[in-house]
Structure 1
């Protein structure tokens, strides 16, 4: 505590010595505000010392800093803008303005200040790093992050973000190499090592995935690590280890289409065909979304709007292969009834709709209509 107090006191003395109005400032009082993090009080105190039209850069900087630390972003911005007018092109001020606008959600202004910094200092690592976060396209992010990575290849945040962009662009070797450089500078950075696993798998470095993955699992049994490790064991033809790992995911209820697929293939390689078939079916079931029928219904509706009735029927019936659907039964009934004038087929789908027990409250209108059309088309009440 004494060291912190001494540091703050030295900083304050330095500030006061460089300020024309230093005789008016109670350094002990200001130090107390800083130590207790009462930045709003510190800002008010400094504003009571400096006049509103002061042009004292050091004084204004202290006020702006205290306002920023107190969360008074609007006031802090005004103070920094005044500083920027009195002393244009100051990088520290521009960074502060960029940070304030970032916190306030004004991406346009934040980007503008960061771009000004780059114009003033074309090798400013922090500006490139921050600016990349505002870009929407992979290409724009790549350009900025590559520059930042060139300036500091061991920064873990930039290395991670750049590797993700390369991965998105399917440039796996570049992504792997960026992470490798950053990891070599920090061998205990497990986040970077985990990010490298899927890239190593993609590049066929399966033994490396096993070595790194097993080490990471001792620290954190993350499903993503298990997923990558299981794949590596499969390609190394250690099928039982692959199955063992993916079984743990299944027991936790975090299996996915991919893990089930590798289990099916592993059982097949071990000639356990019953389990291979079981997991092949599980893979198929996992791949089918609960909403697949709705997607096909939407597609069929589009075909209907274009009067492409045969295509619509094909889409509707394809949707039914994923399970019964009231929407599709009803829409097929309408399509055969109204557009294709095929009463027999229309009645068949209206009946399937009613047999599938539609919600009496929500679908009362459709239920009544289907019943009335069956009566009309069959002549049977």
Structure 2
């Protein structure tokens, strides 16, 4: 047996390592130059010579990942992991492949292994938190995002994600606190601004909501979402003119949503611009024929713009949509009765008022209106007196009514009592 001197063995080992190192450098050069097909070909050839190298499997996995061949990438990364199970860069790459393949539970397990080895690593913890967020496991995500904001108080993304988690869990105050910090760090993320406005809406803090919308629109005056949100806030605070302007601006910016047409129509209705209101409400109705509020105010807009017949059609549609909401049903029947009265369809007027009585406990004003129909339209004094008296017996509030003779608002109670007395006198002389 021939024995080589130790010095010769050392030289041979050095030469082998040198060749191996040069080969690795060459493969990484191919990777950096995005020559992935050539890299794959040469790395596979090298593996046939040396199948124990974790680096060869690792670089192959990276190359396949760049080509979006995630199954092949994961196969070689798992091979690399078998040969070097403690290598964190291999584990990290495997975690990314599991995520790309939608295998989130395995990705989570991989990142947890990494953090068990080194809990101070930021990127794996960030990716782990994001995975918990993607799986709607917001409580677990919060644990990691809270750790991350302590490690990096200047990272707005961590505060943003933490805020989103608290928002999903319904904790409005903590969500707002996180979003405010994120907004301070990055006031140009208008998505955060929009989320904060929604939270202010939930808290019914309309003033802060408007102020925040102003800040966002100062950055992008044509941001559709912020225009809609500020317009809605103006609507809720009865600033209809400002709301109308913002909704119009949103349409100019390209918005054609049912929400915008609906609330623009409602603003115009409140401003008594009934012709314009009905056009926008009609557009909203065409986009959603099941929205009872849209249908109802479309009906009223037709009524007050002198198209009572169409008003009747849409009020009846609203009735169909709203059943069985008693409070709203009563109001719609009252409006329907008013339209029929304008159309001189007094039988339908009475029928509608009678229906309205079925859906409310506050019957007093309906009794009064029935009395008016029998008194002024049907000239039936006896029944008119009956309903006027029912109003007096069931009165729930001190109502007022315009008196044409004095041109002032007078207590309805006094006017009804006076009218009853007058009708009784007329009946006496008729008999």
Show the counterpart of 1:169.
Answer: 203
Residues 309-345 of structure 1: CA deviation (Å, up to 9, x unaligned): xxxxxxxxx999249xxxxxxxxxxxxxxxxxxxxxx
Show the counterpart of 1:307.
Answer: none
Q: Report if aligned partners of 1:183, 1:189 keep a CA contact under 8 Å in 2.
A: yes
Q: Report if aligned partners of 2:126, 2:144 keep a CA contact under 8 Å in 1.
A: yes
Secondary structure, counterpart of 1:133 in structure 2: helix
Structure 1 pair 138–155 and aligned structure 2 pair: CA distance change class (3 A): same
User: What is the distance in 2 between the residues matched to 1:249 and 1:77?
Assistant: 45
Show the counterpart of 2:281.
Answer: 246
Structure 1 pair 57–106 and aligned structure 2 pair: CA distance change class (3 A): same
Q: Report if aligned partners of 1:234, 1:266 keep a CA contact under 8 Å in 2.
A: no
Structure 1 pair 212–286 and aligned structure 2 pair: CA distance change class (3 A): farther
Supply the RMSD in Å over aligned alpha carbons.
3.9
Show the counterpart of 2:108.
Answer: 77
Q: Report if aligned partners of 1:194, 1:216 keep a CA contact under 8 Å in 2.
A: yes
Show the counterpart of 1:201.
Answer: 235
User: What is the distance in 2 between the residues matched to 1:93 and 1:190?
Assistant: 36
Structure 1 pair 276–75 and aligned structure 2 pair: CA distance change class (3 A): closer
User: What is the distance in 2 between the residues matched to 1:243 and 1:230?
Assistant: 7
Match of 2:192 among 151, 158, 171: 158
User: What is the distance in 2 between the residues matched to 1:239 and 1:29?
Assistant: 69
Structure 1 pair 197–22 and aligned structure 2 pair: CA distance change class (3 A): farther
Structure 1 pair 7–234 and aligned structure 2 pair: CA distance change class (3 A): farther
Query: How far did residue 174 of structure 1 move?
Result: 1.4
User: What is the distance in 1 between the residues matched to 2:303 and 2:199?
Assistant: 36
Q: Report if aligned partners of 1:98, 1:109 keep a CA contact under 8 Å in 2.
A: yes
Structure with max Cα Rg:
2
Q: Report if aligned partners of 2:73, 2:97 keep a CA contact under 8 Å in 1.
A: yes
The answer as to 2:296 corresponding to 1:260 is yes
Q: Report if aligned partners of 1:154, 1:181 keep a CA contact under 8 Å in 2.
A: no
Residues 152-193 of structure 1: CA deviation (Å, up to 9, x unaligned): 222122111110110111111211222332333334432332
Structure 1 pair 319–50 and aligned structure 2 pair: CA distance change class (3 A): same
User: What is the distance in 1 between the residues matched to 2:214 and 2:114?
Assistant: 43
Query: How far did residue 288 of structure 1 move?
Result: 4.5
Query: How far did residue 137 of structure 1 move?
Result: 2.8
Q: Report if aligned partners of 2:265, 2:277 keep a CA contact under 8 Å in 1.
A: yes
Query: How far did residue 132 of structure 1 move?
Result: 2.4
Show the counterpart of 1:121.
Answer: 152
Residues 348-379 of structure 1: CA deviation (Å, up to 9, x unaligned): xxxxxxxxxxxxxxxxxxxxxxxxxxxxxxxx
Map of 1:1-381 to 2, 5 A cutoff? 24-25=55-56, 29-30=60-61, 32-51=63-82, 54-134=85-165, 135-217=169-251, 219-250=254-285, 253-257=289-293, 260-261=296-297, 264=300, 267-268=303-304, 272=306, 274=308, 278=312, 285=319, 288-290=322-324, 321-322=358-359
User: What is the distance in 2 between the residues matched to 1:26 and 1:54?
Assistant: 13
Unaligned runs of 5+ in 1: 14-20, 294-317, 324-381
TM-score by length of 1: 0.61
Structure 1 pair 123–283 and aligned structure 2 pair: CA distance change class (3 A): farther
Q: Report if aligned partners of 2:224, 2:255 keep a CA contact under 8 Å in 1.
A: no
Residues 95-140 of structure 1: CA deviation (Å, up to 9, x unaligned): 1111222334433322211121122223432222222233323223
Query: How far did residue 265 of structure 1 move?
Result: 6.8
TM-score by length of 2: 0.55
Q: Report if aligned partners of 1:234, 1:262 keep a CA contact under 8 Å in 2.
A: no
User: What is the distance in 1 between the residues matched to 2:102 and 2:205?
Assistant: 42
Q: Which protein has greater RCO, CA pairs closer than 8 Å, 6+ apart?
A: 1
